[in-house]
Structure 1
Amino acid sequence: MATDYEKVKLPLILESYVDEREGFTLLIPTQWSKIEKAGATALFEDPQSKGNNVGVVVNPVRISSLSEFGTVDIVADKLLQAEKKKPSTNDVQLIKVNERLAHGGAPLYQLEYKLDSSRGVKRILSAVTVASKKLYILNVAYADTMEKPLQPDTASILEKIVNSFDVL
C-alpha cells in the first residue's frame, strides 16, 4: 500500500537535455528516468506512472526537408490514420497542429492528439522535423482519463517540452 508521501505528485521541473551525437535538444522532467528501449534514441519515463514518457526517435531519410513529405495537415492526417490502423486503438482525435521553424530554418511540425487505446487514454504531443537527412520525432505521452484528466498546469509543462525540442 502506498504511503501518503508516495501518493503526492510532485510538480514537473524541467532541465535541458542535449544529444550531441544525434543532434537534438529538449527539456525533460528532472524526476523522470532515462530508460533503454529498442527503437528509441532517448526515452524518459515517469517513475510514478510508467505510461507517461518523453521519447525521441532519429532515423535516416532520403528527403532533406519535412515539407517534401507534406504540409502539417497532411502529416497530421497520415499520423492519425496510422494510429487508427493499430489493433490497440479504440479512437484518436486531433486536438491541434502548429508549424514553426527549427534551428537552421527547417520546418518543424507540432501535433497534439488524444489517443484511446487498450493501454488507456493518453494525450500525445509530437514534434517532427527533418534536418541533415535525418527524421526527428519527439513524442510526449501523458495519461488523460475521465478519472484523472490532464491538469492545465501539467499540460502547459508538456507544451514547454514540445516547444523546446530543436535540432542542433
Structure 2
Amino acid sequence: MQSVALTAALLAAALQPPISSSSATQLQRRHVLSAAGLAVSVSPLVRLRAARAEEVASSSAGAGASATALPLAELADKEFGYRLEYPADWKAAGKPVKTHLHEALLSSPGGLKLGVTVDPVVIDSLEAFGTLDQVTERVLAVETTRDGVNSVILRTNAAQAADAARRTPSYYTIEYATDSSRGKKLFSCKYCIAGRRLYVLQLQAKLDDFDGDEAVRAQVRSIVGSFEVIVAS
C-alpha cells in the first residue's frame, strides 16, 4: 500500500532548491539525522470538537426527516502553526520511523488517508522555488520515480496568493491521479512555505471511489480547503 509519508518525503525533496557545494554536507547531515529519528520529537495537539452534528436539511424539505453532517474534529499544532478540520470518525495512524521534522497521519473508515508533514527548506516562499506550473511539473516528475508507478496524470492545480494584511501565506494545491502496482489512486495536495518550513498536506483516495462518489470528492476537498498555516507575528 502506498505510503502518504513516503510520498510527502519525496515531494519535500522535490521542493528543495539547488544548494551550493559548501552547504551540501550540512544539509545532508540534517536529512540523515531526521531519517534516523533523531530530530526534535513533536507530538501534535489534536482537539476533538464536541460540536453537535449540524442539521443540513430544513424542516420544509419534506418527509419529516432531517439529514445531519458528521461532527468535525480539528487537527492543530501550535508549535508548527497549522490547523485543519476533518470528520471526527477518522483515526490517528502511527508510524514507527520518523522521517520528517514533524508528521501527523490520519485515516478514515472508508480508506481515505491524510498526512501533514513539515520539513525545513532554505527558501522563504513557494514563489521563490517556482510558479504553480513549474512546481506542479516537479511534483509529478518526482511521483513518476516511485517504484511500480506506471502513469501520473494531473487533474487540476490552483494557486492562492499570500495576503500581507491578513498575514496569510501563499498556497499551491495540486490534484493528480496515479496508476501503479498498488492500484489507482487520487492525490490531493496542498503546499505552503512559511518561516523556511515546507508544509505538505496530502489526501489519498482510491481513484474509483473519488471519481464515483460525490461525497468522497466533497470530503477530500473540504479537508484540503480547511488546511491553513498561521504566520507568526
TM bracket, shorter-chain basis: 0.7 to 0.9
Counterpart in the other structure of 2:57: none
Letter in 2 for 1:127: K
TM-score, L = length of structure 1: 0.84
Counterpart in the other structure of 2:229: 167
User: Does structure 1 residue 158 correspond to structure 2 residue 158?
Assistant: no
Q: 1:122 aligns with which of 180, 185, 198?
A: 185
Counterpart in the other structure of 1:133: 196
| Structure 2 counterparts to residues 33-48 of structure 1, below 5 A | 33-37=91-95, 38-39=98-99, 41-48=103-110
CA distance in 2, matches of 1:97, 1:128: 11
Contact 2:136/2:174, CA 8 A, preserved across alignment: yes
* Alignment coverage as a number of residue pairs: 155
Indicate the percent of aligned positions where both proteins have the same amino acid.
Answer: 31
Tell me the alpha carbon deviations over residues 48-87 of structure 1, each in whole angstroms, 9 at most, x when there is no partner.
Answer: 43xx201011001110111001011111100111111112
Any stretches of 5+ residues in structure 1 without a counterpart? Answer: 1-10
Letter in 2 for 1:158: V
Counterpart in the other structure of 1:24: 82
CA distance in 1, matches of 2:210, 2:83: 30
Please report how far the alpha carbon of residue 127 of structure 1 lies from its aligned counterpart in structure 2 after TM superposition: 0.2
Tell me the alpha carbon deviations over residues 95-150 of structure 1, each in whole angstroms, 9 at most, x when there is no partner.
Answer: 000111466232100010111121111110000010011000000001113x8844
Contact 2:191/2:200, CA 8 A, preserved across alignment: yes
Counterpart in the other structure of 1:87: 147
Higher strand share: 1
Structure 1 pair 157–35 and aligned structure 2 pair: CA distance change class (3 A): same
Counterpart in the other structure of 1:5: none
CA distance in 2, matches of 1:47, 1:160: 17
Relative contact order (C-alpha < 8 Å, sep 6+): which is higher?
1
Higher helix share: 2
Any stretches of 5+ residues in structure 2 without a counterpart? Answer: 1-68
- Over the residues paired in the alignment, what is the CA RMSD in angstroms? 2.0
